[in-house]
Amino acid sequence: MPQAKPLSPIYLASAYNLPILDADIYAREAVSLGSPILGAIAQRYGEQILLPDGSLNRQKLGEIIFNRQDERNWIDNLIHPNCARSLSQSNKLSPPHKH
What are the chain's domains?
20-93 (3.40.50.300)
What's the pLDDT at 92?
60
Percentage of residues of the chain with pLDDT beyond 70: 81
* Number of neighbouring beta carbons within 10 Å of residue 40: 15
What's the pLDDT at 40?
97
Strand, helix or coil at 70?
helix
Alpha carbons within 13 angstroms on the beta-carbon side of residue 85 total 7
Percentage of residues of the chain with pLDDT beyond 90: 52
What's the pLDDT at 1?
45
Question: Cα dihedral sign for 19, 25, 27, 30?
Answer: negative
pLDDT-derived band at 13 (thresholds 50, 70, 90) equals confident
pLDDT-derived band at 99 (thresholds 50, 70, 90) equals very low
